[in-house]
């Protein structure tokens, strides 16, 4: 009975061979030599943390009660395909995402009932003020955009999000390097010492949101985060009054990958912060296992502002709870060139003058 053992080179990942002369493990690819015990420990740590287990209980949302959806209407946007839900007191005429006309397709039915909602805390006036303030101090914003631009419609939309809660058990291997530099008369020397740093522990995340609508751009929704869960309430239909609500078209299962990516990134970052005293730290492997993981369905408040300029559409969003305002603005390329040339000219003159005075 024989078992072929293979050890990975910590430096280049190649297959190591035992060097009988030095009694060390030697890499035939990068010619590095390692102590046998160090190689065993490194390979054991990496192998035991090669696979992550990130599964979820995604049974989010509830069933609507009898009569709860009776006064709710669904509007369809022929242009982008968005489906907007309103209560009987709120009429929708334009799509909040693409500003195209919407048509009522009938009464609301099906779908899951949201578990939670964060009610709007800021009104339309606050959104308009935030937009005007956002345009201030932007030196490269085309002046004509500022003067000609009028936001025709500002819409308060409840955007569907899936909220992920989980505890994470992590076992992460980092590769860290320490540098020591010196020189003699002929050479500069850089000595790099490489270490394997194993960190294990626990961390938990609460209410990590993932956008449940394809119509709401994911980046736009993430840019207005964070939402504060302290204001969350159990969902009731009266909260929709006066606002639009988007229907989810991305399921909880489809949102898991993004939730895992965000949790994994922050878990690794948190453990990396404990690796101290090195010049550089890289992640070698990460085993992250989730526990008590569950998803919930919620509606988050967003003010959406659309405008067109020079044939392009610009969408801005404001967090309806915290007031955080985001949106990409056009750049005045001429102004950018003028600023670049101006700063270059002034700095050149000043630096030249300083050099002249110092050498007098």
Site for another protein in 131-150 (CB under 8 A): 137-141
Chain length of the chain: 360
Q: Which range in 26-34, 93-101, 120-128, 294-302 contacts another protein by CB under 8 A?
A: 26-34
Q: For residues 272-301, which are near another protein according to CB under 8 A? A: 274-275
Residues linked to residue 244 through DSSP beta bridges, in sequence order: 157
> At which residue do the structure tokens 């669904």 appear?
74
Output 179 or 236, the one with its CB closest to another protein.
179
Among 60, 102, 198, 250, binds another protein (CB under 8 A): 198
Q: For residues 33-52, which are near another protein according to CB under 8 A? A: 33-34, 38-39, 41-42
Among 220, 244, 288, 305, binds another protein (CB under 8 A): 220
CA 212 to chain centre: 14
Helix (H) or strand (E) holding 37: helix 36-48
DSSP symbol at 12: T
Contact 260, 161 (CB under 8 A): no
Does residue 347 touch another protein according to CB under 8 A?
yes
Among 15, 202, 234, 313, binds another protein (CB under 8 A): 202
Does residue 313 touch another protein according to CB under 8 A?
no
Among 107, 192, 291, 292, binds another protein (CB under 8 A): 192
Q: Which range in 69-77, 109-117, 230-238, 336-344 contacts another protein by CB under 8 A?
A: 336-344
Q: Which range in 62-70, 81-89, 101-109, 258-266 contacts another protein by CB under 8 A?
A: 258-266
Q: Name the 3-class secondary structure at 336.
A: helix
Does residue 256 touch another protein according to CB under 8 A?
no
Q: Which range in 64-72, 98-106, 216-224, 231-239 contacts another protein by CB under 8 A?
A: 216-224
Contact 277, 180 (CB under 8 A): no
Q: Which range in 64-72, 122-130, 238-246, 322-330 contacts another protein by CB under 8 A?
A: 322-330
Token pair in block for residue 9: 């080179």
* Spatial separation of the C-alpha atoms in residues 324 and 345, rounded to whole Å: 37
Query: CB neighbours (10 Å) of residue 147?
Result: 8
Among 111, 123, 153, 218, binds another protein (CB under 8 A): 218
Minimal CA–CA distance to 232: which of 298, 285, 327?
Answer: 298
Distances (CA, A) of 19 to 4, 32, 39, 42: 17, 11, 13, 18
């Amino acid at each position: 009975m024989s078992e072929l053992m293979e050890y990975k080179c910590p430096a280049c990942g190649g297959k190591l061979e035992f060097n009988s002369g030095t009694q060390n493990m030697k890499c035939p690819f990068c010619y590095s030599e390692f102590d046998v015990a160090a190689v065993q420990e490194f390979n054991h740590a990496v192998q035991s943390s090669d696979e992550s287990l990130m599964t979820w209980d995604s049974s989010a949302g509830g069933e609507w009660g009898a009569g709860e959806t009776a006064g709710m209407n669904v509007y369809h946007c022929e242009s982008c395909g968005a489906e907007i839900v309103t209560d009987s007191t709120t009429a929708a005429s334009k799509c909040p995402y693409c500003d195209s006309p919407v048509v009522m397709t009938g009464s609301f039915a099906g779908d899951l009932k949201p578990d939670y909602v964060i009610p709007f805390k800021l009104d339309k006036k606050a959104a308009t003020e935030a937009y005007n303030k956002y345009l201030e101090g932007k030196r490269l914003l085309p002046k004509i955009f500022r003067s000609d631009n009028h936001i025709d419609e500002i819409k308060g939309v409840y955007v569907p999000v899936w909220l992920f809660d989980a505890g994470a058990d992590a076992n992460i291997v980092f590769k860290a390097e320490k540098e020591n530099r010196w020189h003699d008369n002929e050479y500069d020397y850089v000595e790099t010492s490489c270490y394997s740093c194993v960190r294990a522990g626990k961390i938990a995340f609460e209410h990590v949101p993932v956008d449940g609508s394809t119509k709401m751009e994911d980046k736009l929704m993430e840019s207005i985060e964070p939402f504060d869960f302290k204001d969350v309430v159990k969902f009731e239909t009266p909260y929709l009054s006066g606002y639009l609500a988007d229907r989810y078209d991305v399921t909880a299962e489809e949102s898991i990958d993004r939730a895992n990516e965000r949790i994994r990134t922050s878990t690794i970052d948190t453990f990396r912060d404990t690796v101290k005293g090195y010049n550089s730290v890289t992640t070698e492997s990460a085993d992250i296992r989730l526990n008590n993981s569950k998803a919930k369905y919620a509606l988050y408040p967003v003010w959406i502002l659309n405008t067109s300029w020079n044939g392009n559409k610009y969408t801005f969003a404001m967090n309806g709870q915290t007031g955080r305002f985001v949106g990409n603005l056009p750049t005045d390329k001429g102004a950018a060139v003028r600023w670049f040339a101006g700063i270059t000219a002034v700095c050149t003159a000043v630096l030249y003058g300083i050099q002249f005075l110092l050498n007098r």
